[in-house]
């Protein structure tokens, strides 16, 4: 692998981010609006636009599928959230989106300047090490998000000031795919922070890191739809709905393993919560 201090090597990251900026911005905005901006601001603008499109695309498509195309198949009629509830979730998410997208922007800046263990191409480490590093990265993120999420509940001032914004959605008929990013902006950044911290200790493929950050929008939409997928050991919506109704279980992100190991797991079949009429 090329040395992290090599200017030529770091230029590969700048070229990648510049390419991503051009793909998104040149297809959506006049060049006079974004080309004069500094590289950092171009990157933030690209992340903001891409994040917003992904949020609405995943939210609207999934809501159409479960609330209209297959109405009453996956979710009882009395558990479907109102349009007012979904619009409020969109409003909260859109207020936070400019701040959310600062995290990938800053992480890309750190990568471009050689302050992380990111590498540019899979051929630098080989496929076996790529998947080994990816597994370690995902374990680190799972561990970090579990504890960040749990502390946002256990430390009462943090809960009151930050996380309570998200937990006003505490019943089936108030949860929807649009609730996935309806957080206080600091809360949302804190819960995504393990993705960035991992870069300092784990060799991480740059494009994979960016993809995983943006796939969070799709993942969080999925786990707020109240449909229990029963795909062990995935922390699906059935588990996460219980988290929103009991406040003390199922803090995990991708899987149930952290909750299982630390005694905070509650199986959907075991939890007796009432549906809202």
Q: Give the model confidence (pLDDT) of 217-255 as tens digits.
A: 889 888 887 777 777 888 888 888 888 888 889 999 999
Binned at pLDDT 50, 70 and 90, residue 73 comes out as: low
Q: What is the pLDDT of residues 214-224, one digit of tens each?
A: 888 889 888 88
Which residue is it, tokens 């159409």?
Answer: 64
At residue 5, what are phi and psi to the nearest 5 degrees?
-85, -5
Q: pLDDT-derived band of residue 6, with 50, 70 and 90 as boundaries? A: low
Q: Give the pLDDT band of residue 273 (cuts 50, 70, 90).
A: very low
Beta-carbon contacts of 104 under 8 Å, excluding residues fewer than 6 positions away, are 47, 210, 213, 214
pLDDT digits 0-9 by tens, 165-204: 998 887 777 788 899 999 999 999 999 999 999 999 999 9
Half-sphere exposure of 140 (CA within 13 A, CB side): 20
pLDDT value at 208 more than 90: yes
Q: What is the pLDDT of residue 42?
A: 97
CA distances from 120 to 101, 130, 198, 274 (A): 22, 11, 16, 50
Where b means 16+ CB within 10 Å and e means fewer, 143-152 reads bbbbebbbeb
Instruction: Give CA–CA dist 227/80, Å, rounded.
Output: 11
The pTM of the full predicted model, rounded to 2 decimals, is 0.88
Got the DSSP string for 130-145?
A: HHHHHHHHHHHHHHHH
CA distance 105 to 45: 9
| Residue 90 banded pLDDT, cuts 50, 70, 90 | very high
Contact 16, 120 (CB under 8 A): yes
């Amino acid at each position: 692998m090329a040395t992290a201090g090599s200017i030529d090597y770091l230029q590969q990251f700048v070229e990648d981010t510049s390419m991503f900026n051009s793909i998104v911005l040149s297809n959506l905005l006049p060049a006079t609006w974004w080309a004069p901006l500094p590289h950092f601001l171009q990157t933030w603008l690209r992340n903001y636009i891409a994040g917003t499109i992904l949020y609405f695309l995943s939210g609207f498509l999934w809501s159409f599928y479960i609330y209209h195309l297959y109405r009453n198949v996956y979710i009882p009629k009395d558990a479907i959230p109102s349009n007012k509830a979904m619009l409020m979730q969109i409003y909260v998410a859109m207020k936070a989106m400019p701040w959310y997208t600062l995290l990938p922007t800053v992480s890309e800046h750190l990568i471009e300047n050689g302050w992380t263990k990111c590498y540019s191409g899979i051929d630098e480490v080989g496929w076996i090490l790529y998947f080994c590093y990816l597994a370690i990265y995902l374990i680190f993120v799972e561990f970090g998000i579990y504890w960040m999420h749990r502390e946002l509940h256990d430390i009462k001032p943090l809960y009151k000031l930050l996380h309570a914004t998200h937990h006003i959605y505490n019943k089936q008929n108030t949860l929807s795919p649009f609730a996935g990013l309806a957080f206080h902006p600091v809360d949302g950044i804190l819960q995504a922070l393990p993705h960035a911290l991992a870069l300092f200790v784990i060799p991480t493929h740059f494009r994979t890191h960016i993809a995983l950050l943006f796939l969070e929008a799709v993942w969080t939409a999925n786990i707020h739809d109240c449909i229990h997928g029963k795909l062990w050991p995935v922390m699906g919506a059935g588990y996460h709905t219980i988290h929103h109704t009991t406040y003390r279980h199922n803090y995990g992100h991708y899987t149930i393993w952290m909750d299982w190991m630390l005694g905070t797991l509650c199986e959907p079949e075991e939890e007796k919560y009432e549906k809202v009429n």
